[in-house]
């Protein structure tokens, strides 16, 4: 497994800054004003990123694996 296995994106047009992502994974997400942002776009595999994408009320978080396939939010 490489150190950078996944990418995390937050769509600022969808984000409502609910605070759920930094509450679940504070090492991966922060709130800045009216939107959340990923601390780093490229991350090692981290279940916290998937959990945050799953619970985002605006469905604003997308997690992709190393091949670019969307793996979060999960169905």
Burial class (CB in 10 A: 0-12, 13-18, 19+), 48: middle
Please report, for the chain, the start and end positions of each structural domain, with discontinuous segments joined by +: 6-72
Q: What is the pLDDT of residues 9-50, one digit of tens each?
A: 999 999 999 999 999 999 999 999 899 999 999 999 999 999
pTM beyond 0.75, yes or no: yes
What is the assigned CATH class of domain 6-72?
alpha beta
Token couple for 4 = 């950078």
Residues in the chain: 75
């Amino acid at each position: 497994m490489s150190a950078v296995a996944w990418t995390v994106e937050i769509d600022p047009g969808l984000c409502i800054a609910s605070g759920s992502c930094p509450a679940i994974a504070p090492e991966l997400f922060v709130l800045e004003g009216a939107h959340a942002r990923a601390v780093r776009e490229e991350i090692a595999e981290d279940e916290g990123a998937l959990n945050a994408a799953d619970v985002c009320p605006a469905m604003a978080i997308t997690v992709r694996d190393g091949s670019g396939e969307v793996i979060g939010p999960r169905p």
